[in-house]
Structure 1
Amino acid sequence: MPGTEAPDGALPGALVRAGVPDRAGAPVRVALLLPGQGAQYRRMAVGLYDAEPVFAAAMDEVFEAFGPAGPGLRAAWTDDGAPTETAAWAQPLLFAVDYALGRLVAGWGVAPSALLGHSVGEMAAAALAGVFSVGDAARLVLDRVERVAAAPAGGMLAVAAGVAEVGPYLEPEVVVGAVNAPRHTVLAGPREALGRVAERLEAAGLVTLPVPSDTAFHSPVLAPALAGSRAVFARVAPLPAAVPLYSGVTAAVLAPHEAVDPGFWADQPVRPVLFRAALDALLSDGPYLLVEAGPGGGLAGIARRHPAVRRAGGAVVPLLPSRPGGDAADRTALARAAEVLRSRGLPVPPSGAAVRAGGS
């Protein structure tokens, strides 16, 4: 039911377990994909704030949870000149937008049957699944950001190649930070070493693209800076996920003991993201309507090419544009996504974004 809420921000479990029948009587199961570092862009989802009260309330909740940093992050979110590659901007605002879009989908009465987050998107997924309260999750993200600021200057590099293909060109400090698809590998490491690796890859004819990040997420470079984060996680009281949460760390459903383990979450920014394997595991459970609840459209693009999605003719729906386009573009993208969900028989009500999609 629209507006149904569960304790500590978790999605309404009754909807998750029951599913929602489509027009042919078969259950439509929705899985949220929540993107992380690299998906961000300036003013992402700002156009939804005045059009979608549920989204706005969730954003306000996160900014409040950020404490003294909240007003500055709110101003940075709407700033046309924000430094989007910095972890101090990207990580907390990606968390906020991913979380708020998840709450918006639940507010439509479409609680997901599964969640899969990429990088910091896994923290948003954990908040939506009730592992952490949104307040605890927001503060933990800020703690992460403060700690990685002390790490060596680094970066990330997407390569249109498989892991085995890039292996010969790596240096000891440059590692595979994410495996997103069979030919979509992300490398991470110190800035200078990563630059040398990029030159060798390009000389070999491989296509590379820098990921907007000034931090080598998902590499051992961050381990010293994050050494104290385990104690910070140990001071909160996580719970097992109320919704199946597929982890990019383990490429499987997050087990109850993992969800409550401070070491698991403290190590998550250091360990590689096994997104492709996690998506394989998710889709092996049967067809889902995949909804990307975050900016960039990158996870939606990867999911569309997955053989299981192509065989089943499944829908993959991004809620936001793939790049900045102004407030009206945000509302238009959301309205189109809502229409796709309605076409699959889901009870998505008319939204403020649909009404105001033509506005500025």
Structure 2
Amino acid sequence: MTPAGTRTGQPLPVALLLPGQGAQHVRMAAGLYGHEPAFSAAMDAFFDAAGAEGEALRRDWLAERPRTDMDHVTRSQPLLFAVGHALGRTALDRGLRPTALLGHSIGEMAAATLAGVFRLPDATGLVLDRVRRLAGAPPGGMLAVAASTAEVAPYLRGQVVVGAVNTPRQTVLAGPDEPLEAAGRALREAGFVCRRVPSLSPFHSPVLEPACRGAAERFAAVERHLPSVPVHSAYTAAPLTRSDIDDPGFWAGQPVAPVLFWPALEALLAGGDHLLVDVGPGQGLSAVARRHPAVRRGTSAVVSLLPPRPGAPEADRAGLDAALRRLEAAGHPVVRGPGRTGAPEHSVA
């Protein structure tokens, strides 16, 4: 028997998974702030880049009772981006060298920033521009359904669409509140298990299209580079191409386009087994990844950097330490104690 996360005794290549809307919670990963140098530096760099909005974001992130609901687009989206990016920087600082990145929703922006497609100051400005636009969009939400896309198809009406495909039998619907509630009632009456995703906006639905108009011009105005390692897009289910990167409309349209996370994960693992490292709060992507046949048969493996649910600050630090021990056991050189805090901004290689 070889240790989990190894292949015939050799370390599996690492892929970082970066979560999106729904993973957020109060004080997510805040237990690392002030204790993990690379994490703290990356979060401070984000808050500094956010300018006048940075202090309010920091205040609500660290608060037990934020002034603005953490599920509101002006908090969930920028803070998920910042935390995902900062946890990725932490993994690099601790010696991990991923060979692939895969983000879900706003996690794709964090992945692209880690890989050097965007500079952090530019990415921060783009994310904040996005949330300002979306804050003025019609309200709505998202509904996770334990069903296939084919099974939910008869219930898509009244601007309710498939917003994400997380697994073959976990489909997320998105749309305005009233028709989404109606779809949920009909699905439950038909015997399907449903739950609301923590979101006050109908992400990945055409409802948001008017709010995103003009965003492409902002993306066109910043430099974009080829990634230092492959970034597998959850919008194309394939690695980002030069054409994707150069197309401002590709990035500007992401809040409207459906997230094809499972097809993207399938494509990633079709190219070879990986140690999948969830660099985000809540372990939602870990739970999804564990359903993949490659993980179920033990040829690929999953490690989460943070605990599965909110807890005391010490729980964040204990979760990271446990993850580092697992990575070390899987054969990856890990820097013990606080890391080097000097991993280059534009490279994960």
TM-score > 0.5 by shorter chain: yes
Q: Deviations over 1:130-181 (max 9, x none)?
A: 1100111111110010001111111000001111111111214000000000
Q: 1:90-169 alignment to 2 at 5 Å?
A: 90-169=76-155
Indicate if the aligned counterparts of 1:84 and 1:212 stay in contact, CA closer than 8 A. no
- Identify the residue that residue 184 of structure 1 maps to in structure 2: 170
- Amino acid of the residue matched to residue 39 of structure 1? A
Structure 1 segments, 4+ long, off by >6 Å, are 21-25
Q: 1:1-360 alignment to 2 at 5 Å?
A: 26-82=10-66, 83-352=69-338
Deviation, 1:26, is 3.0
How many residues end up aligned between the 2 structures? Answer: 333
Deviation, 1:50, is 2.0
Indicate if the aligned counterparts of 2:11 and 2:331 stay in contact, CA closer than 8 A. no
SS of residue in 2 equivalent to 1:225: helix
Q: Which runs of 5+ in 1 are unaligned?
A: 1-20, 354-360
Distance 2:90 2:100 in 1: 16
Distance 1:40 1:326 in 2: 16
Distance 2:338 2:230 in 1: 30
Distance 1:255 1:96 in 2: 24
SS of residue in 2 equivalent to 1:246: strand
Q: Which runs of 5+ in 2 are unaligned?
A: 340-349
Indicate if the aligned counterparts of 1:287 and 1:312 stay in contact, CA closer than 8 A. no
- Structure number with the bigger relative contact order (C-alpha 8 A, sep ≥ 6) is 2
Q: Deviations over 1:189-209 (max 9, x none)?
A: 011111111111111111111
Indicate if the aligned counterparts of 1:240 and 1:260 stay in contact, CA closer than 8 A. no
- Identify the residue that residue 343 of structure 2 maps to in structure 1: none
Distance 1:244 1:73 in 2: 30
Distance 1:22 1:271 in 2: 35
- Amino acid of the residue matched to residue 52 of structure 1? E
Distance 2:12 2:191 in 1: 43
Distance 1:32 1:23 in 2: 18
Indicate if the aligned counterparts of 1:296 and 1:321 stay in contact, CA closer than 8 A. yes
Deviation, 1:309, is 1.8
Identical amino acids, percent of aligned pairs: 56
Seen in structure 2, the aligned counterparts of structure 1 residues 36 and 260 have a Cα distance that, compared at 3 Å, is same
Distance 1:259 1:341 in 2: 31
Distance 2:211 2:121 in 1: 23
TM-score by length of 2: 0.93
SS of residue in 1 equivalent to 2:212: coil
